[in-house]
Amino acid sequence: MIKPYLSISLLATALLVGCGGEETQQETCDVTPTISVYNAATEETLYQEKSVCLEEDATVLDALKATGLDLEVTGSGDMSYVTAIEGIEEKSEGQSSGWVFAFNGAPGDEGAGAKEVESTDVIQWRFEEDAIAFFE
Protein backbone atom coordinates (compact mmCIF):
# COMPACT_ATOMS: atom_id res chain seq x y z
CA MET A 1 0.00 0.00 0.00
CA ILE A 2 1.32 3.44 -0.96
CA LYS A 3 1.11 5.95 1.80
CA PRO A 4 -1.02 9.02 0.91
CA TYR A 5 1.80 11.54 1.40
CA LEU A 6 4.05 9.46 -0.91
CA SER A 7 1.49 9.37 -3.75
CA ILE A 8 0.98 13.15 -3.48
CA SER A 9 4.74 13.62 -3.56
CA LEU A 10 5.06 11.38 -6.65
CA LEU A 11 2.23 13.26 -8.38
CA ALA A 12 3.82 16.63 -7.61
CA THR A 13 7.17 15.41 -8.91
CA ALA A 14 5.56 14.14 -12.12
CA LEU A 15 3.79 17.46 -12.64
CA LEU A 16 6.97 19.44 -12.05
CA VAL A 17 8.95 17.30 -14.46
CA GLY A 18 6.20 17.52 -17.09
CA CYS A 19 5.92 21.30 -16.71
CA GLY A 20 9.57 22.12 -16.29
CA GLY A 21 9.44 24.85 -18.88
CA GLU A 22 11.40 22.80 -21.38
CA GLU A 23 9.76 22.31 -24.72
CA THR A 24 9.32 18.63 -25.43
CA GLN A 25 8.53 19.05 -29.14
CA GLN A 26 11.08 19.97 -31.75
CA GLU A 27 10.56 23.36 -33.35
CA THR A 28 9.36 22.83 -36.91
CA CYS A 29 10.67 25.08 -39.62
CA ASP A 30 8.70 25.38 -42.84
CA VAL A 31 11.40 27.59 -44.36
CA THR A 32 14.96 28.36 -43.29
CA PRO A 33 16.37 31.31 -45.24
CA THR A 34 19.84 32.63 -44.52
CA ILE A 35 20.09 36.17 -43.16
CA SER A 36 22.77 38.63 -42.08
CA VAL A 37 22.72 42.25 -40.90
CA TYR A 38 25.57 44.63 -41.71
CA ASN A 39 26.27 48.30 -41.04
CA ALA A 40 28.13 49.42 -44.17
CA ALA A 41 28.74 52.88 -42.68
CA THR A 42 30.91 51.43 -39.89
CA GLU A 43 31.75 48.09 -41.54
CA GLU A 44 30.27 46.25 -38.55
CA THR A 45 28.43 42.94 -38.73
CA LEU A 46 25.42 43.04 -36.42
CA TYR A 47 24.21 39.52 -37.20
CA GLN A 48 26.50 36.90 -38.68
CA GLU A 49 25.07 35.04 -41.67
CA LYS A 50 23.00 32.03 -40.58
CA SER A 51 19.66 30.34 -41.17
CA VAL A 52 16.53 31.25 -39.23
CA CYS A 53 13.50 29.06 -38.59
CA LEU A 54 10.25 30.44 -40.03
CA GLU A 55 6.70 29.38 -40.81
CA GLU A 56 5.33 29.03 -44.33
CA ASP A 57 4.49 32.36 -46.03
CA ALA A 58 7.10 34.19 -43.91
CA THR A 59 8.54 37.43 -45.25
CA VAL A 60 11.90 39.18 -45.31
CA LEU A 61 10.67 41.16 -42.30
CA ASP A 62 9.81 37.94 -40.43
CA ALA A 63 13.35 36.71 -41.10
CA LEU A 64 14.75 39.94 -39.67
CA LYS A 65 12.54 39.62 -36.58
CA ALA A 66 13.79 36.04 -36.10
CA THR A 67 17.35 37.35 -35.56
CA GLY A 68 16.31 38.72 -32.17
CA LEU A 69 17.87 42.10 -32.91
CA ASP A 70 16.20 45.24 -31.56
CA LEU A 71 14.02 46.65 -34.36
CA GLU A 72 11.95 49.74 -34.97
CA VAL A 73 9.34 49.25 -37.67
CA THR A 74 6.61 51.60 -38.85
CA GLY A 75 3.48 50.50 -40.68
CA SER A 76 2.34 46.89 -40.86
CA GLY A 77 2.02 44.01 -43.29
CA ASP A 78 2.98 44.89 -46.85
CA MET A 79 3.52 48.52 -45.78
CA SER A 80 6.07 47.75 -43.03
CA TYR A 81 9.19 49.89 -43.06
CA VAL A 82 12.32 49.28 -40.97
CA THR A 83 13.51 52.57 -39.46
CA ALA A 84 16.15 51.24 -37.04
CA ILE A 85 18.05 48.08 -36.14
CA GLU A 86 20.02 47.87 -32.89
CA GLY A 87 19.50 51.63 -32.38
CA ILE A 88 21.01 52.52 -35.76
CA GLU A 89 18.37 54.83 -37.20
CA GLU A 90 17.68 55.93 -40.74
CA LYS A 91 19.09 59.39 -41.53
CA SER A 92 21.61 59.08 -38.68
CA GLU A 93 24.47 59.18 -41.22
CA GLY A 94 22.95 61.79 -43.52
CA GLN A 95 19.65 62.54 -45.21
CA SER A 96 19.90 59.52 -47.54
CA SER A 97 21.08 56.95 -45.01
CA GLY A 98 18.86 54.04 -44.09
CA TRP A 99 18.21 50.32 -43.98
CA VAL A 100 17.88 48.32 -47.20
CA PHE A 101 17.99 44.63 -47.99
CA ALA A 102 19.48 42.50 -50.71
CA PHE A 103 17.54 39.40 -51.72
CA ASN A 104 19.61 36.65 -53.31
CA GLY A 105 22.27 39.20 -54.23
CA ALA A 106 19.96 41.83 -55.76
CA PRO A 107 18.35 44.88 -54.14
CA GLY A 108 14.92 44.04 -52.69
CA ASP A 109 12.18 44.70 -55.24
CA GLU A 110 9.26 44.64 -52.78
CA GLY A 111 8.67 45.83 -49.25
CA ALA A 112 10.14 43.67 -46.48
CA GLY A 113 6.66 42.83 -45.19
CA ALA A 114 5.51 41.70 -48.64
CA LYS A 115 8.49 39.71 -49.97
CA GLU A 116 8.00 36.02 -49.07
CA VAL A 117 11.01 33.80 -48.45
CA GLU A 118 12.01 30.22 -49.17
CA SER A 119 14.70 28.05 -47.62
CA THR A 120 17.13 28.71 -50.49
CA ASP A 121 16.93 32.51 -50.11
CA VAL A 122 19.81 34.64 -48.84
CA ILE A 123 18.87 37.98 -47.26
CA GLN A 124 21.34 40.68 -46.31
CA TRP A 125 20.09 43.73 -44.43
CA ARG A 126 22.44 46.69 -44.83
CA PHE A 127 22.65 50.13 -43.33
CA GLU A 128 23.82 52.39 -46.16
CA GLU A 129 24.95 56.00 -45.99
CA ASP A 130 23.29 56.44 -49.37
CA ALA A 131 20.35 54.02 -49.41
CA ILE A 132 19.08 55.37 -52.72
CA ALA A 133 22.36 54.55 -54.48
CA PHE A 134 22.00 50.94 -53.27
CA PHE A 135 19.10 50.50 -55.70
CA GLU A 136 20.86 52.09 -58.71
The rounded distance, in Å, linking the Cα atoms of 54 and 28 is: 8
For residue 25, the model assigns a pLDDT of: 52
Side-chain half-sphere exposure of 135, counting CA atoms within 13 A = 11
The string of pLDDT tens digits covering residues 48-82 is 999 999 999 999 999 999 999 999 999 999 999 99
Mean pLDDT (the chain, rounded): 86
Interstrand relation of 122-128 and 34-39 (parallel, antiparallel or unpaired) = parallel
The string of pLDDT tens digits covering residues 86-103 is 999 999 999 999 999 999
